[in-house]
Structures are given as structure tokens and as C-alpha cells.
Structure 1
Amino acid sequence: MAEKVVIDPLTRIEGHLRIELESEGGKISKAWSETTQFRGIEEIVQNRDPRDVWAFVQRICGVCTSVHAIASVTAVENAIGSKLPDNAYLIRSLVLGSQEVQDHVIHFYHLHALDFVNVVNAAKADPAKAVEFANSIGSKWRGNNLKRFTEVRDTVQSVLDSGQLSVFTGGYWDHPDYRLPPEADLMCVAHYLDALEFQRSMIRINTVFGGKNPHPNFLVGGMACSIDPNSSESINQVQLDQVKSWIEETIEFVNDCYYPDVLAVAGVYKDYFDIGASHPNYLAVGLAGATYGGDPAESRVKSRHTAIKPGVVMNGDLTKVLPFDPKKIEEFVTSAWYEYSVGDDKGLTPDKGETKVKYTGPKPPYKWLADNDKYTWCKAPRYDGKSMQVGPIARIILAYAQGFEPVKKLVDEAAGKLGITPAQLNSTMGRTFARAAEAMVSSQLLKEDYDALVANIKEGNIDVFDATKWEPASWPAECSGYSFVEVARGNLSHWVTIKNGKVERYQAVVPTTWLAGGRDPQGVTGPYEESLMGNGNHPLVNPKEPLEPLRTIHSYDPCMSCAVHVLDPDGNPVTEVMTS
């Protein structure tokens, strides 16, 4: 008889996610992804000035901050016909790139690595042997030395002696499937701490161009920052030199620390390249940071990095990249606590999307939600009727399928070293590897964007704003626009309709919605659900310590605050949901 297992809340993510499972014989047989968080912003921008919307929708999330702002201003610019100066494109690309690399680093070290790295075990390590281990995996990180590893080992021991594990409280440290030797655990814990310092430093790139972080400043028609090499109040040579040093630090950390660590962990947990496979369908509009206003095939917005064309891969066929058609995107509420005027068995395209709340679930605290047809606040997006994977794995798959050499080289080298095939990237460890590989490519693209910006400034080009479409009098009486942006967790799109200078309709389809959504009218699972129950072989050895499903769900880096973003237009709560 199947055993019911509930993980609630699922920690080390943004927001509230509950996973319900049925397991038999140490394997997961059924799974449900349940977003129990109800919050939002999307509806309150109705009837507002579209030039202000970015500041509201940026608050969809406290992690994915600038990406929503850029998606919003790009959608509005697409609607009103604004054309950005080249410097504005470059600065936005720098902001997107720095946030993406920071996000990947935080995801691995602070949210996901502890599924594979045993912090407690690090106290047993010999620091000298930890240095030897770091050298053996090709890590050239400057923190790999006897003094540093000894300090970290002693710190871990002092934490254990205190009986207060702080952020490490609640870990399943006695789980039998922690496999790294103590020296590898010590190295990774030291790099965990180094990553805290690194990510704090490199995200200052966003502060230089946006004035603050989180929630930097943006502007419809360009950027809010000005460039003047002779002014202390504008972007000048001093700040550009700082940005250059942070980009150099980023390249160093990703190449010398992050990427080797991921390969080392993957080498010990190679079976996770055969665990956690989801639907082998992938969607992306380009490399990380790719930005388009409207249909990418017709967009006036020139994405900064176009080596990878927008496309989809279906059924894992890497020999065929199909063209991307925005009109094939629909969102379903079959499993979600909303209702559609056309009926809950029909999908709506985002430009006609509705956010009508209809909660039919039990009064919290919940015991079991999966017996209900509707069990989540998260809609279920589909492309051409198919459940799709988005994110680093989709971008890496499309880049590989299109023969993009930097990605192809990384994948082929890793595949040879680990003894896997590109098809096995559709897995828990494959998604983890894809993030590190993407960070390798993106950190180099940061340098390209920086060099291009500096070259423009040297030529006297300091323009960052298009004023021709700023005044509402220059807009059509009614217009619509949308955007696609490839951000850390995947494909993000914002959709806006403007009438008489005000927002009439607004929708956002975010990466976690693509991934965390539930079953559709045909009963097809969302990617989270499929990765846990798809082939019936996903392990769950001890239901009281569900480490294995945590590894798989964490590989997606869930952001539930982004996935659920609706609110009563007057700003009043419609219903209240509590998690146990």
C-alpha cells in the first residue's frame, strides 16, 4: 500500500511550496506540486501609468528583482513604440547578467549544495587533505589553503560544540546517502562562506547602474542612470573601473571555484544524472539575458547576445530545433484555485489572461490536498499543449542543439569526464550542472557587454534614454505589448494592454509558473511533478528524511513568490492561506 508523504514547507527556496507524495518500496509513485502561498501585485497595476508599472511588478519577488522591471519596461516599450539607445541595451544586459550569475552561485552554495554536502562531516576533515582534494579536482580558487580550511574546520566544530547549528539546523545530517569524504565537505563549506562574500560584492554592479539593490531603478525608454565621465554624480571612470574589477572577480570565482565544485559533486553523485527527469520539452528565446519586445521573430528590440536563436526542442530530439511561436502559449487553471470565464478546462493566452480567485480547498492547516482536483495557487502554462522545461537546462539544451561552441565544449568535456550523454542532462544533476555551465558562459558575456559600453563612451556616445515616446500624447489611444526575457530560472514574459494612457490589462508568466504548475485538463503533470513521479524510479528511502526529492526540487531553484502574483485590485486580501 502506498505511503503518503508531505513536505511542507519545502525550505531553502523563495516562498512557500508544499510537495505531496505517494511512495512504495522506496520509490515515489505519485507527486503533487502545491503552491500554498497567496500574494501578489499583478492586478494592482491596472489603471496606473504604464511608465510606473516596473516599480510595482519588480516587487513580485525580493530575489528576482531587476528581471521583472526589465521585462515590464520592455513590454511597455514594445506597446508604445519606444526604441532604446545602444547604451541602455548594454546596461540592462549587464544588470541581467550580474543578477543571473549571482543567482546561480547562491542557488548552488546556499540553497542546493547542502543536499549533497554534509556540514557536520566537515568537522572530521584533515585541512591538509582538503587542500589536496581541491587541487585534485582542478580548483584554483585562492581560498584553497591550509590556513583557510583549518579556520573553517575549527569554526564548524565550535558550532557543533555550541549545540546551536543556526542556519544548518534541521538538516538530515545522519542520512546514509551523504557520500562526500570529509575533506570534500570541508572544501565545500569553506566555499559556501566564500560565496557569501563574493555574491555580496559582485551584485554591486546593479547598484552602480540602478542606484540600489535589491529593486534597482529603471526607466521606460532607457535607464535612469546618466553617463558623464566628468561628473561625480553620474556613471564615470571610477565607477566603470569598479564594475570592471567586479566582473574580473566574477570570472575568477566561477572558473576557479563554482564550476569545479559542481563537477566534483556531480562525479560522486553520478546516479543523479538518471534521477529526476521531467518532460523532455524545452523552451528558450536565447542565452541567459536574451531580451525581446514582442515576438522575437519580429522584435524591434535587438537582444544583446543572439548566438542562440529562440526555439523549442520537443521529445528530447536534439537534432531538431523548432521555431518559437508566442501564440502557442496558454495558461490553465484546471488544478489551481482560480476560475476562467471560458471554463476551467480551457486555456487562455497571456494577452487575454484572467486572475479570478476561487478557493475551493480545505481550511488550513492542510492534511492532504491531492484528493482535490484543485490543489495549488499556481497556474499551469503550456506551449502548444505541452508541459515545458524552461531555465538553464533549456538554454543549455538549445545552445547544444544549435552548435554554440562555448556550451558544446563545456557539455562534451563534462560528459566525457562523467561518462554521461547530453540526453542525461534532463535530470536532477543535469539541471545543477547546467547552471554552472551557464555561469561560465555568462560571466564572459559580462566582459563583452562591459567592453562594448566602454567603447561607446570613448567615442562620445553617452545617451541612455529615448525621450521621443515618453509623453502619453505620443502613444496610440490603445496599444498592446509584451516581452520575453531569459532570466536565472527561465523564460519570463510580461504582457500589457494600454488604453487612454493607462494600463487596462497586465499579466506575467514567470519561470517558476512554467515549472511548478499542476496538472492540465488532460491530466499531464507539471515539470516538478513529472521529475518526481515520471518513471516511477525516483528514490525515497526514508519518508521521515525526504532528502532525495529535496535534491530534485531544489535543482529547479523554486521561486514561489514569482509564481503566484495576484491581488484584489483594491489591495485587499481576498482570502487567507496559512502553511503548517
Structure 2
Amino acid sequence: MKKIVIDPVTRIEGHLRVELIVDETNNVEEAYVSGQLFRGIETILKNRDPRDAGLMAGRICGVCTNSHFRAAVSCVEDAYALEVPKNAEIIRELIALALFIQDHVVHFYHLQLLDFVDVTSALEADPAQTVQTARSYSDDPFRNSQAHYENVQKRLQAFVNAGRLGPFANAYWGHSAYRLSPEENLVLLSHYLDALKFQTSISKAVAVFGGKTPHPQSIVVGGVTSVMDMLSPARVNEYLFTIKEAKEFIDRAYLPDMKLLVNAYRDEIKAGVGRANGNFISAGGFNFSGGTLFESGVIFEHDFNTLKPFDPENISEGVERAWYEKNDPQIPCYTDLNEDGSLKTEKRTDKYSWIKAPRYQGKTMECGPLARLLVNYIKKNTCMKPYVDRFLNETNLELIDLSTSIGRNAARAIETQYIAEYLFRFISDLLQNLTYHDTDTWGKYDFDALPKTARGEAFFEVPRGLLSHFVNIKEQKIANYSVIAPTTWNAGPKSLDGERGIYEEALTGIRIADTEKPLEALRIIRSFDPCLACAVHIIDLKGKVLHRYKIT
């Protein structure tokens, strides 16, 4: 037996450690995934005015800012049974869905892609042949010309010649797990660079109605404050233009690139590499006049013939293997590491992560784009299903093939294309309301007249999966606050009975070609788009003064 330690896992949000136990042939027999940083956002929220929850909870993460912002505000609205005007709901949806597009594209090109693309190989590509390679996956490839690819190669060579590789440094170039031809590598790397500009552009769509990004500030308890943006044809057109521009990149680059990846790694997909336990969960949401983007439902053990209803009452959260007090899951209880710095995992009662363990009917569940795709496909959602069928037909894949590490990326790409298309329906609904002189964006209420004691909850599908916020209000102050984020579901530790978390399950059984370069494991972890800042909820436990600042 041998132990492989990956710490930290890079190209993710937050601090994640992975320990793999491999046999003499480098097959992974067991995996332990650990969130390595404690954060105390829920503690910070205690005794605060409930109306401040959104602005503070939004600081849980610098990536998922709007997701927590909106969930916290909605949670308080649920506690007080406040009605939100239709226009405010649509504007919230427009902000959120623009974030979906940004998050998915950035994840694939800037976080996951280098696990499959060998940068050094791209320097050997024939630019003329690269043009033909791109045409194999799209009738109208994005920025597909010999001159463009020659320019990309020059930019890459400049990195090498300068000795400053930047994002391309410290990678496993030449690893046996890389499969792409030099021309395929060049196509994908050109889109890597194009996506840098895309990221800046799509952020404008979030900011149009959000006020700014990251950390939008336009959502308030009862509605939104971006009324002048809603009433301005120029601002609405700016949002529309940005989404149309994004849609072009998605259709001509993102989806074709995913088909290229599927073709190159088909054997791994068919072998089920990165497949977890087959339990999937989605809370659904995003309604418009013509339908619903995401339906709710639960799948167990890859049974695609049976879809169970989603019931929040079936959700529980354990801390037996996480560094918290058993009787109070908000009190830290760190048990230290072994003398060699490894996690304490010898006993089934050992604690080894700051991430708690959410369960649905006692089972570990996978959430995220793949879960949403499978639930909606089985439920025959007429909005999403045609996009899935088209991708499966064009790539000659089956539904089960998507339950893999590459399949997760494919599900994310399909979802991005689907959202970019249906976003215009939400805009249409907004304009229809305005046509009939419905300009309400805030539901007026008297805070002092609201109940002194209340409880609220909110469940949302966000880019990485199922997000839920819970608030307990006493004397019009937050008495208790709790968050279960998507990465908490996917990266949680084992149960006392040994049932693995989703990451751990997906890693178990794979083979590592080179234990000094565990690229295969990193591919699987990053396919979930981890966000540890969300999953672990920084305070100084000893009350130590960290810094002093003087303002003059």
C-alpha cells in the first residue's frame, strides 16, 4: 500500500487536500478528501439585522457572490412571508443566469482544461491543419483561421522564451494521460485565451442589474433596487447584447470543444472514469412564462427509470467525521493531524475535514449540472431535453456516459447553451410586464410590524448545484444561521458506516499512471468545480489581534 497526498489542490476555489491509498498496481483503494480551512460566516451573522443577511452572506465566497446574496435575502423573505414583485424576481433570475454562463465557461477553460490539454504539444501543431481539425466539430468554428492559430503559437512561444509560464507553469506536460493531437491542443488553447476576454464581457451582464460584480448589491429584502436599469432601454439592450455575444462563443467554441474532448477520451467515458454512486439531487427553479428551466427530483443508484420527488424534510447534516462538536455542529472541534502531517483516518470515528456531511435519506448525493441534466431528462423537461438529445446523438453517447468526469463537463456545457438560449424568454417576460405598466420592483413592508420571531429557508440551484440557507430570527435579530452549499454535498467526508463522500467515491477505483504526477485524480476532482470557500463555514478562535489599521 502507498499513500498519495495532493495538498493543495490547485485551480479551485479554497483549500482542499486529497489523500489516496493505492495498491501495488497504483489502483486507488480508498480516498479521503479534506476541507482545510475553517470559516465562520454563520457565526458572524449572529445577532445581526436580518435585512443585512444578504450583503454579509454574499461574502462567503468571491466566486459565488450572487448565489449566497440572493439565497440569504430569499431566506429572510421566506421567514417573514414577504411577497416579491414579478419584476424583481425576473431581475434576480437575469443576474443569476448570467452568473451561470460566466461560471461554467470560466470553469472549463481556466480551471479544468489544462488537465486535458498539453501546452507544449500545441507548439508543434500545423496551423493550416488546425483549421481543418476545428471544422471537424463545427460548421462555423470560432476565430478559425491559419493566421489566428499562428498568432496563438507565437504568444505561447513568448511565454516559453521569457521563462515566465504564468498559468502554464508547474503542470504535468508530457504526461501519458494526455490524448489530444497537437492541432487539437492548439484549438483548445486558442479558446482558453479567447475565454479570458469572454470572462470580462459576461461580467458586464451580471453588473447591469446587480450594480457591480463580484458582490452585487442590488438585491434587498422585498425586491431589488435596480429600477432605473430595468426602465432604461439602453441598459436592457446592453444586457441583451452581452448575452448574444456570449451565445456565439458557446455555440461556436464551447460545445464543439466539448465534442472534441469526448471524441478523444471516449474510452475513459465508456469505462466510467470519475463516476460516483449514482445518487443525484436537484431542487429545481427558474420559472418563466413558457416553462421551467430546472425541474426538481432525486435519483438513486443510476436508476434512470425512477425519479423521486425532492423533499427538504429528508435532508440531514452530520459532523461525526468533521471537525465540529458532535452536539453542536457550529462549535469547532479540531483533532489535529498525525505526527507525519497526514490526516487521521485510521478509525471510522476519526475526524478529518472541516466540511460537514449532508445526506438525503441518509445517502450521499451528487448535485450540480450533471444532476440537473439527469433529473430534467428523466422528467422530460421539454426545454432541456432537446439539447441533451442533440449532444448525445452527435457524440454517440448514452445517458449513463455523462456520469463521468468528462460527462460532468459535457453536462455543464449543455446547460450553458440551454441557459443562453432561454435567457431571452426572461427578458421577454420583463418587457411584457413593462408594456402593461407594471414597474414594481419592491414589495413595501413595515419592518417593525413584522413578527419578532420567525424561521425561514431557501433552496436554489446555483452553478455548482443545490444551495440552501436557513435562518432563525428572535427579537428581530438573527439567532442562528446555516448554509449547505453544493460543494458541501459533493466534498463531504465519510459517514460513520464508511459510506464515502461523492468526491471520494468518484476517485476510488481509478488507476494512477505516475504517483508523482496524479493527473487522473485531479481531473476528477476539478470536474465538480470545487468551491471550498462555500463548503466550509475565518475567525480567530483565540481572539488574537491579527492586524491593526489606522485611518487618517
Scaled to the shorter chain, the TM-score interval is over 0.9
Cα distance in 2 for partners of 1:59, 1:303 equals: 32
Change in CA separation of 1:319 and 1:118 when aligned onto 2, cut-off 3 Å: same
1:278-289 to structure 2, matched below 5 A, reads 278-286=276-284, 289=286
Change in CA separation of 1:304 and 1:169 when aligned onto 2, cut-off 3 Å: farther
Q: Which moved more, 1:317-326 or 1:14-23?
A: 317-326
Q: CA RMSD in A?
A: 2.1
Aligned match of 1:265 in 243, 261, 267? 261
Which residue number in structure 1 is paired with residue 66 of structure 2? 66
Which residue number in structure 1 is paired with residue 90 of structure 2? 90
Question: Is the Cα–Cα contact under 8 Å of residues 100 and 488 in structure 1 kept in the other structure?
Answer: yes
Change in CA separation of 1:45 and 1:569 when aligned onto 2, cut-off 3 Å: farther
Question: Is the Cα–Cα contact under 8 Å of residues 39 and 565 in structure 1 kept in the other structure?
Answer: yes
Which residue number in structure 1 is paired with residue 326 of structure 2? 340
Which residue number in structure 2 is paired with residue 401 of structure 1? 378
- In the alignment, does 2:249 pair up with 1:253? yes
Cα distance in 2 for partners of 1:364, 1:511 equals: 32
Q: Which moved more, 1:139-148 or 1:187-196?
A: 139-148
Aligned match of 2:406 in 429, 448, 462? 429
Query: What is the deviation of 1:527?
Result: 0.1
Aligned match of 1:385 in 352, 362, 379? 362
Question: Is the Cα–Cα contact under 8 Å of residues 44 and 570 in structure 1 kept in the other structure?
Answer: no
Cα distance in 1 for partners of 2:437, 2:57 equals: 34
- In the alignment, does 2:449 pair up with 1:498? no
Cα distance in 2 for partners of 1:524, 1:437 equals: 31
1:275-424 to structure 2, matched below 5 A, reads 275-286=273-284, 289=286, 306=292, 308-341=294-327, 354-362=329-337, 366-371=341-346, 373-424=350-401
Cα distance in 1 for partners of 2:471, 2:185 equals: 48
Question: Is the Cα–Cα contact under 8 Å of residues 293 and 383 in structure 2 kept in the other structure?
Answer: no
Query: What is the deviation of 1:425?
Result: 1.7
Cα distance in 2 for partners of 1:303, 1:486 equals: 19
Q: Which moved more, 1:135-144 or 1:273-282?
A: 135-144
Cα distance in 1 for partners of 2:220, 2:93 equals: 14
Q: Deviations over 1:258-301 (max 9, x none)?
A: 111011111101133210110111110126x57xxxxxxxxxxx
Question: What percent identity do the matched residue pairs reach?
Answer: 39
Q: Deviations over 1:348-404 (max 9, x none)?
A: xxxxxx311000022898234433611110001000101000000110000110112
1:447-458 to structure 2, matched below 5 A, reads 447-458=424-435
Q: Deviations over 1:27-53 (max 9, x none)?
A: 111100011122231111111100011
Change in CA separation of 1:440 and 1:179 when aligned onto 2, cut-off 3 Å: same
Cα distance in 2 for partners of 1:237, 1:119 equals: 44
Calculate the TM-score normalised by the size of structure 1.
0.89
Question: Is the Cα–Cα contact under 8 Å of residues 6 and 19 in structure 1 kept in the other structure?
Answer: yes
- Look up the SS of the partner of 2:228 in the other structure: coil
What amino acid is the match of 1:6? Answer: V
Which residue number in structure 2 is paired with residue 18 of structure 1? 17
Question: Is the Cα–Cα contact under 8 Å of residues 57 and 68 in structure 2 kept in the other structure?
Answer: yes
Unaligned runs of 5+ in 2: 547-552
Change in CA separation of 1:184 and 1:139 when aligned onto 2, cut-off 3 Å: farther
Which residue number in structure 2 is paired with residue 528 of structure 1? 503
Which residue number in structure 2 is paired with residue 145 of structure 1? 145
What amino acid is the match of 2:228? Answer: I
What amino acid is the match of 1:374? Answer: K
Question: Is the Cα–Cα contact under 8 Å of residues 142 and 249 in structure 2 kept in the other structure?
Answer: no
- Look up the SS of the partner of 1:355 in the other structure: strand
Question: Is the Cα–Cα contact under 8 Å of residues 90 and 304 in structure 1 kept in the other structure?
Answer: no
What amino acid is the match of 2:372? Answer: R
Cα distance in 1 for partners of 2:344, 2:173 equals: 29
- In the alignment, does 2:515 pair up with 1:514? no
What amino acid is the match of 2:299? Answer: V
Q: Deviations over 1:72-95 (max 9, x none)?
A: 011100001110111111001011
Which residue number in structure 1 is paired with residue 158 of structure 2? 158
Q: Which moved more, 1:134-143 or 1:166-175?
A: 134-143
Question: Is the Cα–Cα contact under 8 Å of residues 254 and 439 in structure 1 kept in the other structure?
Answer: yes
Query: What is the deviation of 1:457?
Result: 2.1
Aligned match of 2:534 in 543, 562, 567? 562
Question: Is the Cα–Cα contact under 8 Å of residues 16 and 37 in structure 1 kept in the other structure?
Answer: yes
The size of the alignment, in residue pairs, is 540
Question: Is the Cα–Cα contact under 8 Å of residues 498 and 505 in structure 1 kept in the other structure?
Answer: yes
Aligned match of 1:542 in 473, 493, 514? 514
Cα distance in 1 for partners of 2:6, 2:138 equals: 37
Q: Which moved more, 1:564-573 or 1:14-23?
A: 564-573
Question: Is the Cα–Cα contact under 8 Å of residues 338 and 344 in structure 2 kept in the other structure?
Answer: no
Unaligned runs of 5+ in 1: 229-233, 291-301, 343-353, 575-580
Cα distance in 2 for partners of 1:81, 1:171 equals: 52
Change in CA separation of 1:306 and 1:145 when aligned onto 2, cut-off 3 Å: same
Query: What is the deviation of 1:453?
Result: 1.4
Cα distance in 2 for partners of 1:219, 1:307 equals: 24
Question: Is the Cα–Cα contact under 8 Å of residues 320 and 326 in structure 2 kept in the other structure?
Answer: no
